[in-house]
Amino acid sequence: MITLHHCVSARSFRPLWMLEEIGLSYELRMLPFPPRLLSRPYLEINPLGTVPMLFDGAMRMTESAAICQYLAARFSAGQLDVGCGEPDFGPYLNYLHFGEATLTFPQTLVLRYAHFEPAERKQLQVADDYAKWFLARLRTLEPLLAERDHLCAGRFTAADVSVGYALLLAEHLGLAERFTPAVAAYWERLQARPGFKAAMAAQSRAAEAQGVSSTPAPDIRADRLSAN
């Protein structure tokens, strides 16, 4: 049985979405955000105190993009992954990690300096600069998505899950209204997928059942918080 430790709409949404797309059985353990502060026993499971934490038997992983790659390669060969013999293997890996390293990173600084810090420590200019950084890098996808429905290989893959999560986070940050037309249409297509809808529903049900807030990234004082 696969077990996923997850906070609502945090990076751990990537592996949750993957699990639903593949149709795997899993146990979803919800945590308040950020778990390293609000669920101290979790540190015994993951000393980093971050999500995701995925167990597949004795195997454990904590990096969301790597988990997507693992699940795709192990459980959906030829569907959500791109094989090393396929022409788009390189672009697949590039977009898989682009979603986290290039798109999600600047958004964590927007979260911190516009939303999580107490009033006296907020730095709105920093947040605005990193929002512009995110949007500028996101715009590089516009010509590609104007010509195709998915990022690579002519099909939906784990790379779309990785980039799609960055778009979900952007929506929570109020940045979706600044998406370029093809990116906005791509985001609409992703949200219409049954796997995406199932993942959203799964986290809501699990949060309610386990007594965890279903509000993404609750507004807590960031003088106790470093971005997750």
Question: Locate tokens 């996101």: which residue?
Answer: 138
Contact 45/227 with Cβ under 8 angstroms?
Answer: no
- Do the Cβ atoms of 104 and 164 come closer than 8 Å? no
Alpha-carbon gap, residue 73 to 33, rounded angstroms: 29
Report how far residue 132's alpha carbon sits from residue 138's, in angstroms, rounded to the nearest whole number.
10
H runs (alpha helix) in 139-221? 142-145, 158-172, 181-191, 194-209
Structure token digits, residue 82: 């791109």
Q: Is 39 left (phi over 0), alpha (psi -120 to 50) or beta?
A: beta
Q: Are 53 and 64 in contact (CB under 8 A)?
A: no
Higher pLDDT, 208 or 78: 208
Q: How many residues does the chain have?
A: 228
Per-residue model confidence (pLDDT) at position 116 = 79
Would the pLDDT of 115 be above 90? no
84: left (phi over 0), alpha (psi -120 to 50) or beta: alpha
So what's the pLDDT on residue 105? 95
Q: Identify the bridge partners of residue 56 per DSSP, sorted by sequence position.
A: 2, 59
The arithmetic mean of pLDDT across residues 74-92, rounded, is: 96
Residue with tokens 């990193």: 130
What's the pLDDT tens digit per position in 176-190? 999 999 999 999 999
Q: Please give the average per-residue pLDDT across 186-206, as a whole number.
A: 98
- Proportion of the chain above pLDDT 90, given as a percent: 86
Return the SS3 of 64. Answer: helix
pLDDT of residue 34: 85
pLDDT surpasses 50 at 201: yes
Is a pLDDT exceeding 60 seen at residue 222? no
DSSP 11: T
CA 211 – CA 214 distance, rounded (Å): 9
Average pLDDT, the chain: 93
Q: What pLDDT does 217 receive?
A: 60
Query: Has residue 82 got a pLDDT over 60?
Result: yes
Q: Is 36 helix (H, G, I), strand (E, B) or coil?
A: helix
The larger pLDDT score, comparing residue 20 to residue 227, is at: 20
Inform me whether the pLDDT recorded for 225 exceeds 60. no
pTM of the model: 0.93
Cα–Cα distance measured from residue 118 to residue 139, given in angstroms and rounded to the nearest whole number: 31
pLDDT band with cut points at 50, 70 and 90 for residue 218: very low
Residue 228 in this model has a pLDDT that exceeds 80? no
